[in-house]
Amino acid sequence: MKKIALHWQILAALILSVLFGYFFTEQVEYVTWMGDLFLRALQMIIAPLIFASIVSGVLGLGSAQNLGRMSAKTFGYYLATSLIAAVIGLTVVNIFKPGVGADLGLTADAVEMEAGASTFGDTLMNIIPTNIFQALAETDMLSIIFFAILFGFFATKIASRYKEPLEKGFNGIFEVMMRITMFIIRFAPLGIFGIVSGIVAEQAHDLVNIFSRMGVYMLAVILALLFHSFVILPLLLKYLGRVNPRLHIKAMSVPLLTAFTTSSSSATLPLAMEAVEQKSGVSKKVTSFVLPLGATVNMNGTALYECVSVLFIAQAYGIDLSLIQQVIVVMTALLASIGAAGIPMAGLVVITIILSVLGLPLEGVGLILAVERILDMFRTAVNVWSDTCGAVIIAKSEGEELKV
């Protein structure tokens, strides 16, 4: 019998889980453990995977010029696409004005959230770990990436009798981690079934109620995200990368569905790396440099969401933001999206920073809490989609032959 492709299995799991979560709310507790196991397995491999992949990637780049060129392209791509996304968010929220007349009775106390948010300055400072083992233990992505780049770079400078075994060793660890990833991917349909039925059981029954109050805001966020994903990024793929956007999105179906259901770019990272390398044909060198960085730094969906949400809150409180203030929203949203971790609800937490920069009421976050989980799914998929587009475009600019 022909094996059903994994993305169809995942899609079937998604549909079944929505039905199961909705109709069997009580029984859901018997399946949520599958979701927890799947997430734990993904989290288990992130730290060793990014460490080994970046070290072997940077070793593969070979020289300071190559590393410099690659970093410039990568950061150029991240900044440009995040900025475009934020501006799209701003435009859409100004057209739809979802906050005008919104029900302020919904607000909840959100002041304690501030504690979870770190400022952009802190984020920069924390890039340098005081203890790399602690950073690994806590899966502190930016610190691990920083140390791994440094390690890989200086490993190219040592005598070849040391360098060669080191390179082989890290390549070997990377290959093993990829094998483990491929093994875990096989359980994605079950994991996703567990995760989604849990979410549906929790939220579905007030969905109609939530939607009637928050519909326009949700629609504004989702439309803007769709426009960015299906118009802007494909145009970049086509004209900048000279690749077929349809083939690439098809190749990314498993990581995109996983990003959507887990709401975590970090947890999706192993699957994104596997798909970009195996399905789109990007070299390990580019994949292992662009994707781990992208999972924490490049968050187009989050930048867009921040813009729409901050303006939505301002509108709801009847506060008119001047053009200059709106430019500040775009810039802080950009920085906040860089600072946000690739975990569920990180974007909501950093909104408090933007609100306080602008002097807007922090309780405004309470307005958007009800639909946060759903919007997180959409924006995380966009975050991951943009990372993979960046990997493909950069690989092409490095003269690689791809499969898409």
Fill in the per-residue mask, 364 to 393: x = in contact with ligand ASP (CB under 6 A), - = not in contact.
Answer: ------------x--xx--x----------
Which lies closer to ligand ASP via its Cβ, residue 136 or residue 338? 338
Q: How far apart are CA 140 and CA 161, in angstroms?
A: 32
Least Cα distance to 249 among 288, 276, 215 occurs for: 276
CB-based burial, 294-322: b 16+ in 10 Å, e otherwise: bbbbbbbbbbbbbbbbbbbbbbbbebebe
Least Cα distance to 188 among 295, 267, 291, 288 occurs for: 267
Q: How far is C-alpha 294 from the chain's CA centre?
A: 8
* Chain residues 295-334 in contact with ligand ASP, contact rule CB under 6 A: 299, 302
Which lies closer to ligand ASP via its Cβ, residue 181 or residue 264? 264
CB-based burial, 24-62: b 16+ in 10 Å, e otherwise: eeeebeebbebbeebbebbeebbbbbbbbbbbbbbbbbe
Asked if 292 and 45 count as a contact pair (C-beta separation under 8 A), the reply is no
Q: Is 344 a residue that touches ligand ASP (CB under 6 A)? A: yes
Which lies closer to ligand ASP via its Cβ, residue 345 or residue 369? 345
CB of 352 to ligand ASP, least distance (A): 13
Which lies closer to ligand ASP via its Cβ, residue 13 or residue 340? 340
Give the residue nearest to ligand ASP (CB): 347
Which lies closer to ligand ASP via its Cβ, residue 67 or residue 214? 214
Asked if 188 and 272 count as a contact pair (C-beta separation under 8 A), the reply is no
Asked if 373 and 139 count as a contact pair (C-beta separation under 8 A), the reply is no
Which lies closer to ligand ASP via its Cβ, residue 193 or residue 385? 385
CB of 378 to ligand ASP, least distance (A): 10
Dihedral class, residue 129 (left if φ above 0, else alpha if ψ from -120 to 50, else beta): beta
C-alpha dihedral over 290, 237, 259, 152, to 10 degrees?
-10
Which lies closer to ligand ASP via its Cβ, residue 144 or residue 340? 340
* Chain residues 264-283 in contact with ligand ASP, contact rule CB under 6 A: 264-265
Exactly one of 343, 351, 355, 362 binds ligand ASP (CB under 6 A); that residue is 343
Which lies closer to ligand ASP via its Cβ, residue 14 or residue 343? 343
Asked if 270 and 45 count as a contact pair (C-beta separation under 8 A), the reply is yes
Which lies closer to ligand ASP via its Cβ, residue 117 or residue 200? 117
Candidate segments 58-66, 186-194, 229-237, 344-352, binder of ligand ASP by CB under 6 A: 344-352
Residue 184 main-chain phi, psi, to 5 deg: -65, -35
CB of 386 to ligand ASP, least distance (A): 10
CB of 334 to ligand ASP, least distance (A): 13
Q: How far apart are CA 386 and CA 268, in angstroms?
A: 13
Which lies closer to ligand ASP via its Cβ, residue 9 or residue 337? 337
Exactly one of 52, 346, 367, 393 binds ligand ASP (CB under 6 A); that residue is 346
Exactly one of 82, 197, 263, 287 binds ligand ASP (CB under 6 A); that residue is 263
CB of 333 to ligand ASP, least distance (A): 11
Candidate segments 40-48, 70-78, 102-110, 343-351, binder of ligand ASP by CB under 6 A: 343-351
Q: How far apart are CA 156 and CA 360, in angstroms?
A: 50
Cα–Cα distances in angstroms (integers) from residue 387 to residues 113, 276, 291, 384, in the given order:
28, 10, 6, 5
Candidate segments 67-75, 110-118, 317-325, 341-349, binder of ligand ASP by CB under 6 A: 341-349
CB of 348 to ligand ASP, least distance (A): 6
Exactly one of 345, 357, 358, 369 binds ligand ASP (CB under 6 A); that residue is 345
- Helix (H) or strand (E) segment spanning residue 323: helix 323-339
CB of 78 to ligand ASP, least distance (A): 13
CB of 344 to ligand ASP, least distance (A): 5
Asked if 70 and 61 count as a contact pair (C-beta separation under 8 A), the reply is yes
The site for ligand ASP (CB under 6 A) is made up of 263-265, 299, 302, 340, 342-347, 376, 379-380, 383
